[in-house]
Chains A and B, each alone.
Chain A
């Protein structure tokens, strides 16, 4: 082929390139909603379940709300803040979503909140990201969180653990914002009741080797508070047991989630009796919860035996969005003002009770104190011990006192 041929091909490529750059056209009676979850990396399984929750909420309404059709566009991240912002940017700037539901993980939430500030025309509704500072400090006007944060999830657990006779514990958790928040929620109640936390172990997300931790756990403690998620929890539990460890556990909210209880092996019997607290409890004897579980099982026969808190969280967020859209008749004009007002002031019915937002647009909802038990079918589930009603972000403390504790970190709080 001669130089002329080369030039022709080059010109054709240029022309195609220009054609591809056009933005997307949008029908007036469709609302584009972006769904962002961790569909890559260590939290993939959790991300898949969260998308099930989101799709269940949409399917129940036949993908319509406020008289308009809902078009769902999916985005994927891998629990790193960079990937969440990149995915959010694509959904907002390329796919033109008007509402974005997500992300899943704590640090992603902080990054997406910062991104939301630069995109005031889009409403950002949280997925299950549960870092405290996403709404407590420097919140974004267009970021709404209908799920409770990691500290709220642990309300009541500290006192309950102390009352079970665990006077001294150590904590093992992943080294990022959500586990810091979980440990804070646990320690607030636990230290106040008189418990002591001898040491805090922090591991990187996706850590495979827990041998140093297992070797460092002291012998004179009563229990181990474990706030690991997904693959990390399974790895720690099996390595701890293989190392000969037999101390009882206290579980963080995602440690004794369905993703762990559904696994088979020696870990199963070991988990029985583990107390935990979180936004859901698998066998809660309540009609709206049971309806939700049945709908989940019917729609997703290849899902978990019971919806995880990720499916529940995304379901609640999406349902609140749909309810608010119904309330304003799908009106997203004028910077989505009416829609955001409906989100901020509404009280929404969810499978786990009523949810409303506080002044930072963070949820006030019921929390479940649970203990792992074996069901008649041999499967593990979280048995409800107590329902703690309407927990707010400051866990019942006065706001100044709570803020004075300072932002959560590896070293804050301490009670050795």
Chain B
């Protein structure tokens, strides 16, 4: 496996050389809210970014870890509920903490939840991992819907407000977009960095051949659980942004539909590289919002389903796979791209 890395004096290996298209993309993302309307900035732009982050957590587990987990949205939901509970909400069940106490608390609890899910799920493989993580997600959904003492049941929590820091309301379109962009960039770069780190490489090796890695002395179980924790942390960040955007969280946020939507987004974009989930999120959010304009109001779900079906049918690697075939991409750093062939790099 060839990893093009330069090692400057600081000793940190930058994952890949910065090419013009990366700069172009960065400029586009930074300049986007300056030309887009508030709706496009928040509901399309920022929403794509944080759904991309949640789908990235799924891609990290599936692509690098070989474990498809349907409970990433559940972890995001845990973080969202914790933000609502630790802060103020419309039924005043909350603690009323300030944001700089809410956010770390929510992230810690959600990451702990993800670790717990990992502990339960890592002993399974393949379809059974999907089943058990889906089951955990559904359990949490029904729990939040039926529990009124803590989770306020069907109505959930409303009036959850994003913080006002230094006079800037983080829910205003541009600040919220830049916040989401920052979080997405952090998670993306973290994923790329981790995938090249010792931990990440061991994880990919465990994905490809767990018995050999076990024989070599690696703690397979611990690696996988820690992968769940890290992915859970990303999903938790996405969950915080989700609750700040909607200003509310309810069981409908973590229903089976949204759980599967995260998988759809990740597969749509492509599980091969970390940019895949973000591409999938953009396509998904656009479809979700505009399908009703393109087709009869009674049939728009047909369009969403058909697009997903067609993309997966013609390119199991998602849009990224289509793009790679289109431009004749030769696989350099294989990384997650080999997840389906199950060969060791």
Contact = CB atoms under 8 A, between A and B. Distances in A.
Given A7-B21, A10-B24, A93-B37, A111 B248 contact: yes
Contact of A93 (B38, B142, B251, B298): B38
A366 to B, nearest CB: 30
A174 to B, nearest CB: 9
A93 B43 contact: yes
Which secondary structure dominates chain B's binding surface?
Answer: helix
Interface in B222-271: 246-248, 250-253, 255
Contact of B145 (A1, A20, A204, A410): A204
Contact of A86 (B20, B43, B154, B156): B43
Interface string B278-303: 00000000000100110001101100
A363 B144 CA distance: 34
Nearest to A407: B91
A11 interface: yes
B73 to A, nearest CB: 13
B328 A1 contact: yes
A301 interface: no
Given A76-B297, A410-B148, A176 B154 contact: yes
A39 B300 CA distance: 10
Contact of B253 (A51, A82, A107): A82
Interface in B138-168: 142, 145-146, 148, 153-156, 158-159
A121 interface: no
Contacts of A204: 142, 145-146, 154
Contacts of B327: 1, 5-6, 9
A110 B24 CA distance: 43
B294 to A, nearest CB: 12
A82 B40 CA distance: 18
A81 B328 CA distance: 45
Interface in B301-345: 301, 326-328
B25 A10 contact: yes
A81 B158 CA distance: 10
Contacts of A110: 155, 158
A85 B328 contact: no
B33 to A, nearest CB: 9
Given A6-B327, A10-B25, A21 B158 contact: no
Interface residues of B, number: 43
Contacts of A11: 24
A80 interface: yes
Interface in A26-66: 39-40, 48, 51
B246 A82 contact: yes
Most chain B CB within a 10 A radius of its CB, from A14, A114, A205, A410: A14
Which secondary structure dominates chain A's binding surface?
Answer: helix
B154 A93 contact: no
B36 interface: yes
B100 interface: no
B218 interface: no
Contacts of B292: 74-76
A21 B282 CA distance: 13
A78 B165 CA distance: 35
A175 B154 contact: yes
Contacts of A165: none
A177 interface: yes
A79 B250 CA distance: 12
Interface in B169-211: none
A379 interface: no
Contacts of B159: 114
Given A21-B32, A175-B154, 11 more contacts: A21-B35, A23-B37, A74-B297, A76-B300, A80-B255, A82-B253, A83-B252, A93-B43, A94-B40, A110-B155, A205-B154
Interface of A: 1, 3, 5-7, 9-11, 14, 17-18, 20-23, 39-40, 48, 51, 73-76, 78, 80-83, 85-86, 89-90, 93-94, 107, 110-111, 114, 175-177, 204-205, 409-410
20 contacts: A10-B21, A10-B25, A17-B28, A21-B36, A39-B298, A51-B297, A78-B252, A80-B252, A81-B158, A81-B252, A85-B246, A85-B248, A86-B43, A90-B43, A94-B289, A111-B248, A114-B159, A114-B247, A176-B155, A204-B142
9 A-B pairs closest in CB distance: A80-B252, A93-B39, A21-B36, A74-B297, A94-B39, A23-B37, A176-B154, A82-B252, A21-B40
Interface of B: 19-21, 24-25, 28, 32, 35-40, 43, 90, 142, 145-146, 148, 153-156, 158-159, 246-248, 250-253, 255, 289, 292-293, 297-298, 300-301, 326-328
